[in-house]
Structure 1
């Protein structure tokens, strides 16, 4: 990144960051840790308590529920997540509100000053964003910062911060180009966020053994789903039982957040380990109101979910099966070329009657024609091949019966495009897309 005049608007900054580093994803902590040191970010934690969340699936919903639960208990919060759907501002939330452009620009300026102080250091888009967000959080340290790992764990930029509680939601195969296909190796990478003596919350009963092995080696106390904590029941009226070193806790008659209940139980356990005494009324209020765009998000008969690997697709199919409709279920799907299309289609197939395919753009794009070949191998019913998610949505919307429903899935890009399409058709629904560059650089 050159030392020319700095941008003055957020879109200009994001354009600059897109071209600043030779590669979009550059795992490793040496460069980002040195810039963090120059910024003073290593001198003190960015918040009174920090929870870091890693995993293949379920990170976003766990973070959203942690934020809602913490606020319901009266805590000030900051959350950092990635990627975003429509606006870059979604990535940083301060007390439940998206950061404004000025806050994000100030963070980028602070990072830029530090990286050029002494020997210049090149940073990726994600690294710049992470450091800028941490700087903004540390300006007014909240009671709780919730940080989502972008990819992997051990070498992710978020891992420069030592968490008080580390959460690993799930481990499955994804990002093979960066993490490989060895599930035990992927587990070790995710477990790189664990710290000696700090609680490790394991939010799945099917994690590879390598995760617990890393925790044991570090001496990190393990709180595992199904052992140290559990949830009982499904839907409305489910129950949580968990523990901390000081107490056991049971919560009954909890509302369905319409997000994975394993992730809800994981969020409750992590918050308790962060020092919050869980109050039943506050937990019910938080779980009843939490919403996460792009995760089983219903807009009339349209369901939007960013699931893009077989594990996530299986969960979506399960939720659809539990909510039958009188008509047909049509999947509008667009995927990136490095994702497991066969696995996703197979996982969704039991819940889908017909398919509409959408081509995506960009260097990792997959065409509708390519997806059609995967569908044909599984004998699925193909209705249409769209040049884009918006074109596919236009075509499909004109052919739906009143009792039909649509699942939009396969990629953050696909969901973001259809969400923007929907908002353009219904302006009162909210703001349309903006600052949408690099929305899926770590997915």
Structure 2
């Protein structure tokens, strides 16, 4: 990372009094000053919201679009190792110079008149949107950061809205009521524009919003679905005119098939006829760091709520059981550590607790207490993910595995340590 980009990121971290402040008024004001309302962001825009599966869906749609010849831009968050990961242009992380120019444009716009205060995420989102608008790709894919209705990404009107799943997460901002969470996620829907629903069951608030907006709804399990074919799978779906499609003998992308089915359904609604060989190539080559990512006998996954953790445990259960699987776990203080431990318990034999710093952090000692309270085996408590990696590398047997999970911060710290050790 260049010194200029590093300086901008440090500046953005300290310029707003709170890290997260939901609301669109401030973002919309600066977006207007940037001219984002005067021209389309891209040929077509897809916005993806949901509790789990957003990143997988974005990566799958990006790869499918690329293999069908479309130029793409993707905005996602958070990143693992480099901020540049948040904005991808034709599959490649944005260059430092482009990000710096974006921050400069946003800064000038927020000061052009009465000054507007922006959070780190809001400024980054606006900079990415400016950069995408400058590029004018055929397809822009935007991942919602938190919620939907009041998230900075929602300043852009999508051509297609995607809601993957809805479960409990970010209770401090979204509450514990699933119907209320569904209402927030459904805030990305737009009147009469298609919505792709990536769950067979969503709260009634989502259906109510779809009805109020007269938005055409394409539901997983109804309009489209994946079907297991024993070693491969089939996708069935339809386009906006009702034409049906079936694609057979598709490879496992290593990501949830429901999300792959969602991405294929979105592709058809964009007016792209899915080509079998292009789809197979996309599914065989898609990669998403931190989602069931294997580095030798280390598996890294950013699962940080019970719903996502249960999926990870299910996928691991389908693998041959190693002599021992150790969970390297780091969980933020506002997450339900006990529920995570319970969901992962069937796949993990023993645990190493690691601490996470920051205002939302949780110490290794506190996490270790949760592990022991669950009746699980606690091998060690380490101050950081890197320290946990170092502790395990000295003791891990050749026939043992490690699952690193609990937070993006846990996976990022462990991935950096493992990558450095491999050099």
TM-score normalised to structure 1 length:
0.94
Q: Secondary structure at the match of 2:122?
A: helix
Structure 1: where are the runs of 5+ without partners? Answer: 1-6, 428-443
Separation (CA, whole Å) in 2 of partners of 1:103 and 1:181? 39
Q: Secondary structure at the match of 2:123?
A: helix
Candidates 191, 197, 214, aligned match of 1:196: 191
1:317 equivalenced with 2:330 (yes/no): no
Residues 13-412 of structure 1: pairs in structure 2 closer than 5 A:
13-233=8-228, 236-246=231-241, 247-412=243-408
1:235·1:255 contact (CA, 8 Å) conserved in 2? no
The CA deviation string for residues 106-150 of structure 1, in whole angstroms up to 9 with x for no partner, is 101111111100111011101100110010011120000000000
Describe the shift of the 1:392–1:235 C-alpha distance in structure 2 as closer, same or farther (beyond 3 A). Answer: farther
The Cα of 1:235 is off from its aligned counterpart by 6.9
Structure 2: where are the runs of 5+ without partners? Answer: none
Describe the shift of the 1:422–1:8 C-alpha distance in structure 2 as closer, same or farther (beyond 3 A). Answer: closer
| Stretch moving more, 18-27 or 228-237 | 228-237
Describe the shift of the 1:235–1:184 C-alpha distance in structure 2 as closer, same or farther (beyond 3 A). Answer: farther
2:333·2:362 contact (CA, 8 Å) conserved in 1? yes
The CA deviation string for residues 231-266 of structure 1, in whole angstroms up to 9 with x for no partner, is 111773101000122211111100000000000000
Separation (CA, whole Å) in 1 of partners of 2:357 and 2:381? 14
Separation (CA, whole Å) in 2 of partners of 1:394 and 1:235? 39
The Cα of 1:326 is off from its aligned counterpart by 3.2
Describe the shift of the 1:266–1:158 C-alpha distance in structure 2 as closer, same or farther (beyond 3 A). Answer: same
Q: Secondary structure at the match of 1:231?
A: strand
The Cα of 1:8 is off from its aligned counterpart by 6.9
The Cα of 1:325 is off from its aligned counterpart by 2.8
Separation (CA, whole Å) in 2 of partners of 1:217 and 1:326? 51
Determine which structure has greater relative contact order: mean sequence separation of CA pairs < 8 Å that are 6+ residues apart, divided by chain length.
Answer: 1
Matched positions, count: 421
The CA deviation string for residues 212-247 of structure 1, in whole angstroms up to 9 with x for no partner, is 111111110000000111111177310100012221
The CA deviation string for residues 18-54 of structure 1, in whole angstroms up to 9 with x for no partner, is 0011111110000000110011101122100000000
Q: Secondary structure at the match of 1:170?
A: coil
Separation (CA, whole Å) in 2 of partners of 1:362 and 1:336? 9
| Stretch moving more, 322-331 or 62-71 | 322-331
2:46·2:160 contact (CA, 8 Å) conserved in 1? yes
1:234·1:261 contact (CA, 8 Å) conserved in 2? no
Moved over 3 A (4+): none
Separation (CA, whole Å) in 2 of partners of 1:348 and 1:309? 10
The CA deviation string for residues 273-329 of structure 1, in whole angstroms up to 9 with x for no partner, is 111111111000000000100000000000000000000000000000001233111
Q: Secondary structure at the match of 1:9?
A: helix
1:72·1:283 contact (CA, 8 Å) conserved in 2? yes
Separation (CA, whole Å) in 1 of partners of 2:231 and 2:270? 26
Separation (CA, whole Å) in 2 of partners of 1:140 and 1:387? 43
Separation (CA, whole Å) in 2 of partners of 1:405 and 1:347? 18
1:389·1:417 contact (CA, 8 Å) conserved in 2? yes
The Cα of 1:207 is off from its aligned counterpart by 1.5
